[in-house]
Amino acid sequence: MAGKDRTTVHKVFALTLAVCVDLSLFYASGFAGIHSVLGHFAHLWLSAALRWSAVTITTLLVLGDPNPLLIRFITAYSLLPAVYETGTRVLYREESPCGPVADIRCWLMFAGASLGAALFWEITIPDSDEEAGSKAQKQKSRVLFMRVLHLYRPDYPKLFGGVVFLSLAVICEMFIPFYTGRVIDILGSDYQQTQFFTALLFMGLYSVGSSVSAGCRGGILLCAISSFTCRIKVKLFEALTKQEIGFFETVKTGEITSRLSKDTTLTGRTVCLNVNVMLRTFIKTMGMISLMMSLSWKLTFLVLMETPITGLIQNLYDTHYQRLFQAMQDSMARTNDSANEVVFGIRVVRSFNTKKHEADRYDKRLLETHSLKIRRDTVRAIYLLGRRLTGLGMQVFILYYGRLFIQMGQMTTGNLVSFIIYQSDLGNNIRTLTYIFGDMLNSVMAAGKVFEYIDRKPQISTDGKLKPDQLEGRINYCGLNFAYPSNPEKTVLQDFSLELKPGQVTALVGPSGEGKSTCVSLLQRLYEPQDGEILLDEEPLKSYDHHFFHKKIAVVSQEPVLFSGSVRDNITYGLTDCSQEKIEEAARKANAHVFIHQLENGYDTEVGESGGQLSKSERQRIGIARALVREPKIIILDEITSSLDVESENKVLQGLASCPNQTLLVIAHRLKTIENADQIVVVRGGKVEEKGTHKELMELQGSYHKLINELFDETNSPE
Ligand SMILES: Nc1ncnc2c1ncn2[C@@H]1O[C@H](COP(=O)(O)OP(=O)(O)OP(=O)(O)O)[C@@H](O)[C@H]1O
């Protein structure tokens, strides 16, 4: 407690000392100004530099390690008088009341303005690490924003062009109300035609200048957004395709597509649209404040009193809005998911007549999104009400004081009209600034999600380098323990060990759901086992080069996935150069050549979306040809018999037998397929229960014998 008290005393002492040092310098500077010791600007900036150094050194000496908020405040506060006076001189060619001979009111005004600016920065983009939660979030936003900005690098020339036109548009726009007021004054006093037409001419020129520049700015920036969005979409897509299968099982499809479509677009807006609006509004606000100051500085200060209230309302609104916005995004992703699922499985929905059930489910999800939308809109309505009321109050205030100032001869009617136009615009601008800041947080959040996926390192490494010239094709499963990432509680393989010899056929058999397909998935490296490893020619699978490995191992699954394109495209999928002879040879071995030949355009026939224009068996045979054309060392057939008739299957197996050096792993339920295998492995409960040839296992009279009898019963049972 005593320590805390001492720190507070320390801080108060530092502050008092800094104020004393600064006030002494402030008056010394005023004295030097009166006696014209130096040139005007040199004096201004030198005094700013002196005050900055003195106050910084004082605080550093007393506090030791001041926080960034204090440093920002000191910097803004020391430089503000010089910036203000230089601006007044350059823009209006006159000396401001806060020039070199400023009094204590100016000192207070600058101190207040700098403190306001530093606090605004701290609240919106904090540096200090107190109140870790929300501040850390805001710091993260800043990092994300800088990252988006960095990614915009190829579009910097466009951004620069956009900013130039933006500044021109704003400068031109700013002067229009000023000339409106002038016209009113000219009309109200002794009318002078030349002055009137000059004012009109300037108004017209500024209007045209503002419109042309605004158009150019919009066009250039939209172009930059579009090219950025394309770039980030490609980056995200590449990152997604590198992820392991477990990722796609745990993350919903709707969420992934939402990141690809919506969030990438929002990310693009972060810099271009938001910064564009922010810069435009900021420049305009600053310009307007200085023009308003020139019309009536007293009234300007009155108007600026509204700013903290607007900021507070906006801040409250933003906090609630962000939360609801996030919840709504997630709910929308879930709604899209359920729609996608139904469209994908429409056949099942129809055949089970679950249209009503699915519609209800979709409706429930929509209702959830809808209720979040209503909550979001209610928050918005309350916010708008608060905003309108403060705006209205301010207008009454201005009219009242404006009338007083006109009576006192401190303003003309034209000045008041210009002032009111500026004020209503200023109110809008301040709201836009705060709103756009909120919107920027939204888009930065979207950018965060996009970067989360872009940065995600696939949990299955693809860093292997091994590419041996000769590969024997010997596979060893060594003590595998495995559970799927989407269901880590359930162990699917337990201490699973098995050898697949080169040139031999190994058949995995066993009841459904006991882990056969899982063995295949692990061999393909779609998942990584939690314990144990799989060796290929005595080397772990992960040490092989990714491309090399996937060329050497080919899988034909129960339902091969075809892509829209020709039959040839599907067979040579992923291969860059593949001769027609090789394609045909593979198709022959897969018993597909004859039917492909009979298609209207042979190998150039389009297969339709997901191969929908072909039958299941034809799709299966193209899938087999696709595997064989790669001349792999290891071939895996995962229940291909489910969609092939006996004749086709025999032909396929004969075709495969003509490649004697390949290691063949078959999962099958058909006795004919299993019977001739060199090794039959019974998998039960994620373990190898029995292994041997058909003859050996039949003699053993164990699990295999039982399984075969069950199969035999099933095949012979009356329909
Ligand atoms: N992607 C997955 N995520 C979570 N669990 C899974 C996944 N795939 C399979 N499983 C579970 O793992 C277990 C083994 O499944 P696997 O597909 O390997 O069995 P199988 O012996 O090949 O069955 P079938 O003969 O019916 O194809 C099952 O209990 C299944 O529910």
Q: Which domains does the chain have, with CATH numbers?
A: 1-131 (no CATH), 139-457 (1.20.1560.10), 475-716 (3.40.50.300)
Q: What is the pLDDT of residue 643?
A: 65
pLDDT attached to residue 146: 83
User: Which of 517, 528, 667, 688 best tests ligand 1's pocket when mutated (most atoms within 8 Å of CB)?
Assistant: 517
Quick one: pLDDT band at residue 233, thresholds 50, 70, 90? very high
State the CB neighbour count (10 A cutoff) for residue 204: 12
Residue to mutate (ligand 1; options 482, 509, 518; most atoms within 8 A of CB): 518
Radius of gyration in angstroms for the set of CA atoms belonging to the chain, rounded to a whole number: 38
The letter for the amino acid at 140 is K
pLDDT per position as a tens digit, 285-343: 877 787 787 777 777 877 776 666 676 677 677 778 878 887 888 888 888 888 888 88
Distances (CA, A) of 64 to 11, 15, 438: 11, 13, 36
pLDDT at 7 over 70: no
**Residue 489 — pLDDT band, cuts 50, 70, 90?**
confident
Tell me the DSSP string of 314-383. HHHHHHHHHHHHHHHHHHHHHHHHHHHHHHHTHHHHHHTT-HHHHHHHHHHHHHHHHHHHHHHHHHHHHH
Phi-psi sector, 555: left (phi>0), alpha (psi -120 to 50), beta: beta
Query: What is the rounded distance in angstroms from the CA atom of residue 513 to the CA atom of residue 525?
Result: 20
Q: Which residue would you say has higher pLDDT here, 534 or 61?
A: 534
Q: What percent of the chain has pLDDT over 90?
A: 4
- With 60 as the cut, is the pLDDT of residue 455 above it? yes
Distance from C-alpha of 714 to C-alpha of 512, rounded to nearest angstrom: 15
CB 698 within 8 A of CB 705: yes
pLDDT category of residue 719 using cuts at 50, 70 and 90: very low
* Sheet order of strands, 539-540 included: 491-500, 475-483, 531-536, 539-540
Choosing from 248, 492, 710 the residue with most ligand 1 atoms within 8 A of its CB, the one to mutate for a pocket test is 492
Residue 234 has pLDDT above 90, yes or no: yes
Instruction: Establish whether residue 401 lines the binding site of ligand 1, counting it when its CB lies within 6 angstroms of any ligand atom.
Output: no
- Looking at residue 717, its pLDDT comes to 45
User: Among 233-247, 525-539, 574-588, where is mean pLDDT lowest?
Assistant: 574-588
Task: Please give the average per-residue pLDDT across 406-424, as a whole number.
Answer: 81
Give dist(CA 494, CA 123) in Å, integer.
55
Query: Inter-axis angle of helices 132-151 and 413-455, to 10 degrees?
Result: 90
Percentage of the chain beyond pLDDT 70 is: 82
- 249 close to 484: Cβ distance less than 8 angstroms: yes
| Atom 28 of ligand 1, nearest CA residue | 513
- Residue 237: predicted pLDDT: 92
Backbone angles phi, psi at 716, to 5 degrees: -95, -5
CB 140 within 8 A of CB 435: no
Strands 505-509 and 679-684, how do they pair? parallel
**Separation of CA 505 and ligand 1 centre (Å):** 23
Q: Assign 30 a pLDDT band (cuts: 50, 70, 90).
A: low
When pLDDT is averaged across residues 75-103 and rounded to a whole number, the result is 68
Output the CA 642–ligand 1 centroid distance in Å: 17
> Mapping DSSP to helix (H, G, I), strand (E, B) and coil, where does residue 615 land?
coil
Would you state the pLDDT for residue 482? 92
Mean pLDDT along residues 45-51: 80
Mean pLDDT of the chain: 79
The rounded distance, in Å, linking the Cα atoms of 174 and 288 is 7
Please tell me the residue having the least CA distance from ligand 1 atom 29.
513
One-letter amino acid at 554 equals A
pLDDT reading at 14 higher than 80: no
The pLDDT score that the predictor gives to residue 367 is: 92
Give CA–CA dist 612/162, Å, rounded.
Answer: 48
Interval 617-668: pLDDT, tens: 888 888 888 888 888 888 888 877 666 777 777 777 776 766 667 888 888 7
The answer to whether residue 82 scores a pLDDT higher than 80 is no
Q: Are 603 and 629 in contact (CB under 8 A)?
A: no
- Assess whether the C-beta atom of 518 lies below 6 angstroms from ligand 1: yes
Is residue 714 predicted with pLDDT exceeding 60? no
Ligand 1 centroid to 558 CA: how many Å? 13
Helix, strand, coil % in the chain, rounded to nearest 5: 70, 10, 20
Q: Is 87:290 a contact under the CB 8 Å cutoff? A: yes
* Distance of CA 500 from the midpoint of ligand 1 (Å): 21
Task: Give φ, ψ of 600 to 5 degrees.
Answer: -55, -50
Q: For the residues 241-263, what does the mean pLDDT come to?
A: 83
Which of 539, 541, 514 lies closest to 527, judged by CA? 541
H helix runs in 93-192, sequence order = 104-124, 132-151, 156-188
Residue 90 pLDDT grade (very low, low, confident, very high; cuts 50, 70, 90): low
Which one-letter DSSP state was computed for residue 565? S
Looking at the predicted structure, is the pLDDT value of residue 132 above 50? no
- Per-residue pLDDT, averaged over 608-612, amounts to 77
Residue 682, classed as helix, strand or coil, is strand
Cα 12 off chain centre by: 45
The pLDDT, as a whole number, for residue 91 is 57
Strand, helix or coil for residue 531: strand
Residue nearest to atom 18 of ligand 1 (CA): 515
First to last CA, the chain: 88
pLDDT, tens only, 183-203: 877 877 676 778 788 888 888
User: 382-408: per-residue pLDDT in tens?
Assistant: 888 887 787 788 878 888 888 888 888
Which residues lie below 8 Å from residue 416, measured CB to CB, with a gap of 6+?
181, 402, 405, 406
Which atom of ligand 1 lies closest to the CA of 508? 21
Nearest CA, atom 1, ligand 1: 484
Length of the chain equals 719
Assess whether the C-beta atom of 300 lies below 6 angstroms from ligand 1: no
- Distance separating alpha carbons of residues 282 and 327, to the nearest angstrom: 31
Cα(438)–Cα(444) distance, integer angstroms: 10
Q: Is the CB of 514 under 6 A from ligand 1?
A: yes
pLDDT value at position 129?
47
The neighbour count for residue 255, using CB atoms within 10 Å, is: 19
